[in-house]
Amino acid sequence: MVVTRAPIEVIHKLKELLDTDFGRRQSDFNSLKQAPKKPSRKHLEVLIDHLAWLESFGDLGAVFEGIVDTKIRHFAAQTAASDVAELKDCSLPKRYTLMLALIYRMRMRTRDHLAEMFIRRISTIHKRAKEELEQIQARQRQKLEQLAATLDGVVQILVQEPDDQEAGGLIREYLSPDGNLARMFHKNGSLLKF
């Protein structure tokens, strides 16, 4: 029997899951059926907390060792379809076996959803980073094209003017018509960063 393999502390926790106090209409048993929400950072943290709570029931793999997975799934599905009153109508061993099966399956399901949410979040982050990289590359490509056009203009001046001193003056005037070479350097200096 499954229930005989479970530690007594786990059995006490199972009993507490079905209890309601005066201030609450629902027991913690309903938290076992909690469905995952839209993948977001806030929901990811909620799911992590829910998994930690499910993990607090201990190593259920040892409890269900040697039991066929289809049987565990059947028990979990039966428990998920039940409410607290229906579970309380079951004998104690059956009730706790059903509840343990649901916790076991929900733990696996929660891990799967957590992994899926994590993958989606990483995918979103990756997509945003890729878009940002493409924007940076487009800006750099534009700067390189401007720099290549400027270099082409400088080469044309050198081809047309054989006198080095005269060519230097023409190049200076071409690069900075207003005479402010520092602005030209600042404008193109950012290319060196990449």
Q: What is the mean pLDDT of each run of 10 residues along the chain (194 residues)?
A: 84 86 75 70 82 90 91 93 88 92 91 86 93 95 90 91 88 80 63 52
Closest by Cα among 30, 73, 38, 32 to 54: 32
For residue 36, give Cα distances in angstroms to 82, 91, 124.
20, 31, 18
Please state whether the predicted TM-score (pTM) of the whole model is above 0.75: no
Look up residue 173 and give its two tokens: 């005037």
